[in-house]
């Protein structure tokens, strides 16, 4: 089935849906100019590592505890590389679907683009790079650019160490986000999308498999094949923006 025919079939399922889940990965932000990547160590393929350590080790919870300045050095590099990027139409198309039904977005991305695009029900399983919090007093702040921050940055209220509210390598997913994820998945969805993710993690793979086994509509949007490619009921082998635009066009006003 070609892309347009698949888009029409998915649109028909969406038209009848009351609850829809979008599980998204780095591929949805590719149109924003961000490379596809894994976790907060996202741009390590384009970094020069001076310390002779794997970037996964530098950007780990253990290294942050021992040497926060080293971890922050490369977090600064990630923020600079991402600077100027913004949500693209794929994010906005998902947000616009809230006018039709209840939509939940579960994302592995730390860029915050789904919220910026207007989605209201967003579960950021890996956190958000622009949200900082103090490890001493717990004060939170939004920081869109890290220019001017000390290395490592300190809390203006108490002088405690700041860190971005993201999951570093080797750390557990945030309890609150996991709890919300489990609640919404238990409530169930009529259509489940996997968009721009390799589906390597069980919290991506599992819900799609369970929905397919229950006879529900499941959709993969990814130009590359993944573990889900032979599981879903519909597969669009194209980028997020092209695929979502075709689906929304087929859905009509």
The runs of H, that is alpha helices, within the chain are 3-15, 55-58, 61-66, 68-82, 89-96, 113-117, 175-187, 202-213, 240-251
47 and 93 in a common domain: no
Residue where a domain terminates, one of 142, 166, 190: 166
Q: Which CATH number fits the domain that encloses residue 54?
A: 3.30.1600.10
Distances (CA, A) of 140 to 120, 143, 155, 157, 162: 20, 10, 9, 10, 9
pLDDT mean over 77-102: 92
- Cα 124 to Cα 122: distance, rounded to the nearest angstrom: 6
Q: Which of 91, 114, 126, 234 is catalytic?
A: 126
- Tokens standing for residue 234: 């519909």
185 and 118 in a common domain: yes
What residues have CB less than 8 Å from 144, skipping those under 6 apart? Answer: 130
Distance of CA 167 to the CA centre of its chain: 12
**Per-residue pLDDT tens over the stretch 175-210:** 999 999 999 999 999 999 999 998 888 888 999 999
177 and 218 in a common domain: yes
pLDDT at site 1: 67
Is 126 a catalytic site residue?
Answer: yes
Q: Residue 33 pLDDT more than 90?
A: no
Cis previous bond, 196, omega within 30: no
183 and 239 in a common domain: yes
Strand-by-strand arrangement of the 19-24 sheet: 122-124, 102-107, 19-24, 191-195, 217-221, 234-236
What residues have CB less than 8 Å from 130, skipping those under 6 apart? Answer: 112, 142, 143, 144, 164
177 and 122 in a common domain: yes
Strand-by-strand arrangement of the 140-142 sheet: 140-142, 127-134, 162-166
183 and 156 in a common domain: no
User: What is the residue range of 105's domain?
Assistant: 3-33+86-126+172-251
96 and 19 in a common domain: yes
pLDDT mean over 72-79: 89
42 and 80 in a common domain: yes
235 and 191 in a common domain: yes
134 phi and psi angles, rounded to 5 deg: -90, 130
- Cα 175 to Cα 19: distance, rounded to the nearest angstrom: 24
pLDDT mean over 67-71: 95
Distances (CA, A) of 231 to 27, 43, 94, 206: 19, 30, 23, 11
Helix (H, G, I), strand (E, B) or coil at 141: strand
pLDDT at site 38: 46
Residue where a domain terminates, one of 105, 140, 166: 166
pLDDT mean over 232-242: 97
The span from the first CA to the last CA of the chain, in angstroms, equals 24
238 and 185 in a common domain: yes
Residue where a domain terminates, one of 116, 146, 166: 166
Look at the chain and report how many structural domains it folds into. Answer: 2
Is residue 161 a contact partner of residue 133, using CB atoms and an 8 Å limit? no
- Band the pLDDT of 138: cuts 50, 70, 90: very high
Q: Which CATH number fits the domain that encloses residue 236?
A: 3.40.50.1220
146 and 41 in a common domain: yes
> What value does the mean pLDDT of the chain take?
91
The runs of H, that is alpha helices, within 139-239 are 175-187, 202-213
234 and 111 in a common domain: yes
């Amino acid at each position: 089935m070609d892309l347009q025919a698949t888009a029409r079939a998915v649109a028909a399922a969406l038209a009848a849906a009351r609850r829809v889940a979008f599980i998204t990965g780095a591929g949805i932000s590719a149109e924003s100019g961000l490379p596809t990547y894994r976790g907060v160590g996202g741009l390590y393929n384009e970094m020069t590592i001076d310390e002779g350590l794997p970037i996964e080790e530098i950007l780990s919870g253990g290294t942050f505890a021992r040497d926060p300045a080293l971890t922050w050095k490369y977090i600064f590099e990630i923020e600079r590389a991402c600077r100027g990027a913004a949500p693209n139409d794929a994010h906005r198309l998902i947000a616009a679907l809230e006018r039709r039904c209840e939509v939940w977005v579960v994302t592995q991305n730390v860029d915050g683009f789904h919220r910026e695009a207007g989605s209201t029900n967003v579960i950021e399983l890996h956190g958000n790079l622009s949200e900082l919090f103090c490890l001493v007093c717990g004060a939170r702040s939004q920081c869109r650019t890290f220019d001017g921050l000390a290395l490592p940055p300190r809390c203006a209220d108490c002088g405690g160490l700041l860190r971005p509210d993201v999951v570093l390598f080797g750390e557990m997913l945030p309890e609150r986000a996991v709890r919300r994820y489990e609640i919404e998945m238990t409530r169930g969805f009529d259509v489940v999308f996997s968009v721009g993710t390799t589906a390597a993690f069980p919290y991506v793979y599992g819900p799609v498999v369970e929905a397919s086994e229950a006879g529900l509509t499941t959709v993969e949007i990814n130009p590359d094949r993944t573990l889900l490619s032979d599981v879903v009921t519909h597969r669009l082998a194209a980028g997020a923006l092209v695929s979502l635009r075709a689906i929304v066009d087929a859905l009509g006003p």
